[in-house]
């Protein structure tokens, strides 16, 4: 495995811990969880939050994936961009055109108001650490009720944390996965 900031658990050990915690064993195959599972309470909390936001939220899944991918690009998180590239395309209705446009979304002409609203909210939160009252109202108009808007803010905060975690711990990509799909172009 080479020199790592935090060594990954062997796959069998990670799977056993995940199973003991009641987590999907498939999570233990991911490098991020092979590291997080070194601290089972943190791994459990992170998994519960991520799985809730991914599969049990009222926020439109496609909008959430656009937020995650924008965060991956804007924060230069190769792990986040690479992991969610497949998820966004295969499970949540994003097109390759959508994902590539996130690199410069303000100049993309195919996003509607809902997409532009969540992407602006993402960039604003990255820049200022908060969402202004005006942005909150735009989100209420284009994203949904206050619960969906709360989940939007939670998603921005959660995947920003994931970006910071993966970059700070230098979590490697899974074996055989190329960084920055589809073209290898990373943020400047």
User: Do 128 and 142 fall within a single domain?
Assistant: yes
User: Do 162 and 86 fall within a single domain?
Assistant: yes
Number of domains in the chain: 2
Q: Is the pLDDT of residue 87 over 70?
A: yes
- Has residue 1 been placed in a domain? no
Residue 4 is predicted with a pLDDT of: 87
Q: Is the pLDDT of residue 138 over 60?
A: yes
Q: Is the pLDDT of residue 1 over 50?
A: no
95: three-class secondary structure by DSSP:
coil
Rounded-to-integer distance, Cα 89 and Cα 182, Å = 12
- Has residue 186 been placed in a domain? no
User: Do 69 and 159 fall within a single domain?
Assistant: yes
Q: How far is CA 141 from the centre of its chain?
A: 24
Rounded-to-integer distance, Cα 176 and Cα 173, Å = 8
- Has residue 185 been placed in a domain? no
User: Do 87 and 153 fall within a single domain?
Assistant: yes
Mean pLDDT of 6-24: 98
Residue 117 is predicted with a pLDDT of: 98
- Has residue 137 been placed in a domain? yes
Q: Is the pLDDT of residue 2 over 60?
A: no
Class of residue 123 by CB neighbours under 10 A (exposed 0-12, middle 13-18, buried 19+): middle
Mean pLDDT of 16-27: 98
Residue written as token pair 């049990």: 56
- Has residue 154 been placed in a domain? yes
pTM of the model: 0.95
Average pLDDT, the chain: 96
Distance set, CA 38 to CA 35, 48, 53, 127 (Å): 6, 16, 23, 32
- Has residue 187 been placed in a domain? no
Q: Is the pLDDT of residue 167 over 70?
A: yes
pLDDT tens figures, 36-74: 999 999 999 999 999 999 999 999 999 999 999 999 999
- Has residue 111 been placed in a domain? yes
Closest to 153 (Cα-Cα) out of 118, 106, 127: 118
Mean pLDDT of 97-125: 97
Handedness of CA 165, 154, 88, 139 (dihedral sign): negative
User: Do 65 and 141 fall within a single domain?
Assistant: yes
Here the CATH number for the domain that contains residue 127 is 1.20.1290.10
Mean pLDDT of 120-148: 97
Domain hosting 105: range is 61-168
Mean pLDDT of 141-155: 96
User: Do 135 and 97 fall within a single domain?
Assistant: yes
Residue 150 is predicted with a pLDDT of: 97
User: Do 51 and 67 fall within a single domain?
Assistant: no
């Amino acid at each position: 495995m080479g020199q790592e900031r935090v060594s990954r658990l062997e796959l069998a050990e990670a799977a056993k811990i995940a199973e003991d915690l009641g987590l999907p064993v498939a999570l233990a195959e991911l490098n991020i969880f092979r590291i997080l599972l070194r601290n089972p309470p943190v791994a459990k909390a992170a998994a519960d939050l991520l799985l809730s936001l991914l599969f049990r939220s009222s926020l439109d899944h496609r909008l959430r994936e656009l937020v995650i991918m924008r965060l991956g690009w804007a924060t230069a998180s190769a792990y986040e961009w690479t992991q969610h590239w497949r998820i966004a395309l295969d499970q949540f209705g994003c097109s390759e055109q959508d994902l590539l446009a996130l690199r410069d979304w303000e100049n993309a002409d195919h996003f509607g108001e809902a997409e532009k609203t969540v992407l602006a909210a993402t960039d604003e939160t990255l820049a200022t650490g908060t969402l202004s009252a005006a942005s909150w109202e735009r989100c209420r108009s284009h994203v949904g009720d206050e619960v969906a808007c709360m989940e939007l803010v939670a998603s921005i905060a959660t995947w920003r944390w994931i970006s910071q975690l993966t970059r700070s711990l230098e979590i490697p990509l899974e074996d055989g996965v190329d960084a920055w799909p589809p073209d290898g172009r990373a943020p400047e």
